[in-house]
Chains A and B, each alone.
Chain A
Amino acid sequence: MTFFQLSLTLIFVLIPIVLSKTFRLGLEKDVLIATIRSIIQLLAVGYVLQFVFDSESYFYIFLMILLIITTAVHNARKKGVMIKGITWKLILTYCFIEVLTQGVLISLKIIPATAQYMIPISGMIIGNAMVLSILFLNRFTAEIENRTGEVELFLSLGSTPKQAIHRQLMTSIRASTIPTIESQKTIGLVQLPGMMSGQIIAGADPVQAVMFQLLILFMLLSSAVITSTILGFLSYPTMFNERMQFVAQTSSKE
């Protein structure tokens, strides 16, 4: 695709601006900002990736993965402010997912240890883990706020903190992984995944594209469950102190 052809696609930006003006939706400014940001960000990433691919240096691959993890942690941590040390818990979770997936793929020689494979796969895996952790933290925070009485009931009957919060923890892990699992059930029937579509458009063999897409899907499934589980089990102990008292609540009686 040439830059001229790319610029012609801006017609797809003009349509929402015209619709917004016509129906006074007030979206013009946001559409423009989103368009300009995506052009700058993606072109910048494109040039950076080109540089990293050409350099064939593991140092730059490491830097790129570090950037991906840092950005994901920065985004997700806002949803878990009530959990002490959430930043480190997220870093640990994402690093574990990254090492596990890349470790399996490279050691089994499914992908070569090159920037061309490692960076996009890291982006997909960490991006998915970020969404999962946001879903988990949102649900877990809500469960804790709405079911404080139940947690205290369990504790008052002599439960351990793990027993007291087990139900809230399991509900949150399950709820956060449902979208990933459900979307995989209809994949290929409702929509063709972006990566696979991209490869097919770029001229790749559709069967090869499907095989890579399946690889990604299996990894996303695994990373979804692992992300929520690790984050859950790292987070719940911070809700209690050493005397097994529930300290997450914000208000106290009398």
Chain B
Amino acid sequence: MQAAISFQNVHYHTDSVAIIKDITGAISSGNITTVVGPSGSGKSTLFHLCNGMKSASSGDIFIQGEDILTLTPTVLRRKVGIVLQKSIMIEGNVFDNLSLPLSLHGKRLSKEKAIEMLHLIGLNETFLHRKATDLSGGQQQRVSIARTLLNEPAILLLDEVTSALDQSSQREIEQLITSINQKKETTIIWITHNLEQALRIGDDTWVMIDGKLAAYGKSAEVASSTNDKVKQFFEGGEKK
């Protein structure tokens, strides 16, 4: 099966600091792949490289077999959607926020579709006309996920989307993501600090340490890796 994303000797550095160091690997299509690693290990930067918010300093990235540089950025970013830890709501109500991705491409969101999306993320239709910034963190995060999903991305990048939420909201978002993965066959790549969550929901897991891909593969295999740095990370890592 063709990989959703594959990396070949990818490096990324700013003027003085190397952030991504020689990453080579592939993310399987249709799977949930979790990405773990200490803070500052380059996980978020890797995401930004995948949806073209940043460009690799060297190496190649392929999205469903196509060289990322041959894709127009606006097309690439609809194909590879991203949801960040801090959900940013634009001024207006929930409907305005959900309409945003379609309005950017000259389309209109129907009320029926908006309600369908609200049901998908576990909110009812009374939320449609509520001021988006008045919602709780968990509700904003759901709206943020729905907003990205309205672009119908083939690949969905989630950057610590549950880290600011309480335990029950975390579980609800996990269920939501798992069902999206199963119903829509969307490839999910999920950065999390929560190792237990990473191993539980991830078909595959990538471990990034100091900008390098220290281990990757089936989550259970990665958890029992013999690599010293990976073992050390799992032993000292956050368990929730």
Which A residues have a C-beta under 8 Å from some C-beta of B?
149-150, 152-160, 163, 243-246, 252-254
Contacts and interface: CB of A to CB of B under 8 A. Distances in A.
Contacts of A156: 51, 53, 77, 81-82, 84, 148
Interface string B39-59: 111111100000111110000
Given A155-B77, A159-B74, A245 B88 contact: no
Contact of A245 (B39, B42, B53, B78): B53
B164 to A, nearest CB: 15
A51 B101 CA distance: 63
B201 interface: no
**Which range holds the interface residue count of chain B?**
20 to 34
Nearest to A244: B73
Interface in B2-51: 14, 19, 39-45, 51
B74 A245 contact: no
A102 B41 CA distance: 60
Contacts of B43: 254
B151 A149 contact: no
Given A156-B81, A157-B77, A157-B78, 9 more contacts: A158-B73, A158-B77, A158-B78, A158-B105, A243-B55, A244-B74, A245-B53, A252-B45, A254-B19
Contact of B104 (A163, A243, A254): A163
A243 B71 CA distance: 10
B100 interface: yes
Contacts of B75: 158
Interface string B193-216: 000000000000000000000000
A163 B74 CA distance: 11
A6 to B, nearest CB: 56
8 contacts: A156-B53, A156-B82, A157-B78, A157-B100, A157-B147, A158-B78, A254-B19, A254-B42
A24 B39 CA distance: 55
B53 A158 contact: no
A150 B88 contact: yes
A84 B104 CA distance: 27
Nearest to B39: A254
A152 B101 contact: no
B90 interface: yes
A245 B101 contact: no
A22 B148 CA distance: 66
B52 A153 contact: no
Contacts of A163: 104
Contacts of A150: 88, 90
B86 interface: yes
Interface string B120-163: 00000000000000000000000000011001000000000000
Contacts of B19: 254
